[in-house]
């Protein structure tokens, strides 16, 4: 079977656009699921982040779209705003060949006013979080009367986050004659119940892993109790010296406590969990992606929004409750042909989880000794960059080139000292090398971009 997109029933403009994006052959999950979607079948896709599932369902819903009907025809539900934003960007890329297509994001944590205004102007595709989508339906601002495709992305996490009731309400508002596409990294019993409730004769497609486990060096360390875990984390960070690490905690409280403790010890780290304000989560993710945070401490739910490929190391503060989640976690390192490190802390109380994980991985887990005190002679790895926040964005017609030009107008600042630039609606973020951070702040605050001054500040915790 050929894995070229041209072998499918996709329209020529969609296939030509895929070629221009560099998408020539299908990933495993696309090759298995896309032909089924194009036949109109309900599909359950199980595959981890990075398997290409967004492009799969994105092409499926675009195939069903009648662009001349300016009504909501597809709805994609995601557990977090970060993931919804990523999905919307991908769908817009895939839809470049279709003129006048409107993709709208509706997420909690964003102002309601602009969303209401956008809904009044209409859309073809909605990407959003269940709580906010439900609210717009209840208030009569969003009609799903002409919906033909419903997508549940990261369905396992939506259920973990308590979105069952909003999902039920949204599904009840959808036309019964529709195509349902459900994607999930794991497949717990709660998902089976959801599937039986909303899907019609679904076909299940399962891709075990697109990740080569041999690119990850896994280590397990035994700890006596929770107090010993923080000391163990410090030893591992000093030993492996990661420039970019994600530490997974099972609870929001542990996540925040560990971040506070490590910050006190001088590490550049930030927490990412559901109790944080959306603004703080956004800023933490931006700083981590910009290399102005070396360590991100996250819960599994919050981590679904991380779009950073270059992670040197993953640490499990506790073993995950589900072996599939463990594999999903460690799959964040060792990508793009690089070798990654995954360290997991285990205690006697977690013996049952270790046994389950051994069965799943089909190998024995042998804990090794933690690094000795000599590791504390190693230097503490600090972030190479600083992120600056500029109080201006797309609404001010600012573009990344304007910010780059504004900085390099100072001959003391070179282009290769400037990192990622992200321009949002009313604010922008730019990463600069630590050594020029003060100069960069002064250059932007005293200079002009787009003929005007902008306030700027260093982004801290």
Q: What is the pLDDT of residues 202-255, one digit of tens each?
A: 999 987 654 455 578 899 999 988 789 999 999 999 999 999 999 999 889 999
Contacting residues for 137 by C-beta, under 8 A, at least 6 apart: 144, 169, 170, 173
| Alpha helix ranges (H) inside 8-163 | 12-20, 28-38, 53-63, 81-94, 112-121, 130-138, 155-160
Q: What is the pLDDT of residue 401?
A: 92
pLDDT tens sequence across 274-327: 888 888 888 898 999 889 999 999 988 767 656 666 788 999 999 988 888 888
Q: What is the pLDDT of residue 1?
A: 43
Q: What is the pLDDT of residue 83?
A: 87
Residue pair 372/238 in contact (Cβ under 8 Å)? The answer is no
pLDDT tens sequence across 443-460: 999 999 998 899 999 988
pLDDT tens sequence across 48-72: 666 788 999 999 999 999 988 899 9
Residue pair 291/243 in contact (Cβ under 8 Å)? The answer is yes
Residue 91: Cβ within 10 Å count: 24
Q: Does residue 184 or residue 246 have the better pLDDT?
A: 246
Angstrom distances, CA of residue 303 to CA of 81, 94, 105, 138, 288: 12, 25, 20, 29, 12
Residue 235: Cβ within 10 Å count: 19
Residue 186 has pLDDT above 80, yes or no: no
Length of the chain: 461
The three-state secondary structure class of 345 is strand
E-strand spans in 215-368?
216-222, 245-248, 269-272, 295-298, 313-316, 340-346
Q: For the purposes of burial, counting CB atoms within 10 Å of the CB of 100, is it exposed (0-12), middle (13-18) or buried (19 or more)?
A: exposed
- Angle formed by the axes of helices 164-173 and 189-198, to 10°? 20
- Compute the distance between CA of residue 146 and CA of residue 178 in angstroms, rounded to an integer: 9
Q: What is the pLDDT of residue 304?
A: 65
Residue 84 has pLDDT above 50, yes or no: yes
Dmax over Cα atoms in the chain, in whole Å? Answer: 68
The three-state secondary structure class of 456 is strand
- Compute the distance between CA of residue 53 and CA of residue 269 in angstroms, rounded to an integer: 31
Domains of the chain: 5-206 (3.40.50.300), 213-377 (3.40.50.300), 385-458 (3.30.70.330)
- Compute the distance between CA of residue 146 and CA of residue 129 in angstroms, rounded to an integer: 20
pLDDT-derived band at 373 (thresholds 50, 70, 90) equals very high
Whether the predicted model's global pTM rises above the 0.85 cut = no
Residue pair 110/278 in contact (Cβ under 8 Å)? The answer is yes
456-458 and 385-390 strand pairing: antiparallel
pLDDT tens sequence across 86-138: 899 999 999 998 888 999 999 987 889 999 999 998 999 999 999 999 999 99
High-pLDDT (> 90) share of the chain, %: 58
Tokens in use for 433?
């090398």
Per DSSP, what are the bridge partners of residue 346?
Answer: 222
Residue 288's closest CA among 422, 93, 415?
422
Query: Containing H/E element for 351?
Result: helix 351-361
Q: What is the pLDDT of residue 377?
A: 94
Q: How many CA atoms lie within 13 A of 60 on its CB side?
A: 36
């Amino acid at each position: 079977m050929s894995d070229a997109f041209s072998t499918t029933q996709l329209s020529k403009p969609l296939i030509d656009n895929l070629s221009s994006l560099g998408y020539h052959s299908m990933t495993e999950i696309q090759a298995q699921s896309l032909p089924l979607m194009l036949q109109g079948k309900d599909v359950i896709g199980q595959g981890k982040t990075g398997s290409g599932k967004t492009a799969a369902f994105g092409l499926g819903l675009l195939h069903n779209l009648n662009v001349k009907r300016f009504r909501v025809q597809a709805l994609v539900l995601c557990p977090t705003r970060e993931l919804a934003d990523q999905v919307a960007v991908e769908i817009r890329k895939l839809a470049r060949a279709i003129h006048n297509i409107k993709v709208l994001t509706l997420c909690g944590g964003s102002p309601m006013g602009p969303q209401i205004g956008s809904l009044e102007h209409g859309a073809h595709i909605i990407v959003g979080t269940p709580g906010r989508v439900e609210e717009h339906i209840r208030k009569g601002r969003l009609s799903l009367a002409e919906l033909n495709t419903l997508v549940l992305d990261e369905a396992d996490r939506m259920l973990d986050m308590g979105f069952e009731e909003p999902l039920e309400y949204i599904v009840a508002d959808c036309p019964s004659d529709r195509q349902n596409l459900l994607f999930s990294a794991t497949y717990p019993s709660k998902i089976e119940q959801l599937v039986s409730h909303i899907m019609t004769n679904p076909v299940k497609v399962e891709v075990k892993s697109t990740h080569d486990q041999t690119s990850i060096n896994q280590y397990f360390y035994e700890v006596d109790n929770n107090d010993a875990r923080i000391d163990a984390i410090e030893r591992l960070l000093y030993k492996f010296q990661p420039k970019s690490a994600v530490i997974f905690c099972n609870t929001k409280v542990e996540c925040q406590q560990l971040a506070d403790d490590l910050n006190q010890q001088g590490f550049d780290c930030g927490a990412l969990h559901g109790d944080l304000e959306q603004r703080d989560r956004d800023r933490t993710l931006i700083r981590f992606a910009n290399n102005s945070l070396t360590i991100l401490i996250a819960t599994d739910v919050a981590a679904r929004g991380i779009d950073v490929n270059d992670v040197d190391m993953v640490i499990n503060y506790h073993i995950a409750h589900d072996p599939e989640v463990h594999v999903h976690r460690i799959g964040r390192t060792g990508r793009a042909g690089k070798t990654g490190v995954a360290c997991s802390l285990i205690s006697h109380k977690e013996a049952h989880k270790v046994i389950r994980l051994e069965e799943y991985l089909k190998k024995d887990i042998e804990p090794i000794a933690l690094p000795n005190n000599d590791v504390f002679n190693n230097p503490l790895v600090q972030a190479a960059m600083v992120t600056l926040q500029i109080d201006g964005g797309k609404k001010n017609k600012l573009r990344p080139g304007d910010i780059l030009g504004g900085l390099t107008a100072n001959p003391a600042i070179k282009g290769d000292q400037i990192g990622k630039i992200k321009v949002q609606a009313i604010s922008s973020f730019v990463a600069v090398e630590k050594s020029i951070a003060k100069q960069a702040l002064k250059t932007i605050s005293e200079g002009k971009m787009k003929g005007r001054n902008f306030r700027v500040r260093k982004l801290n915790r």
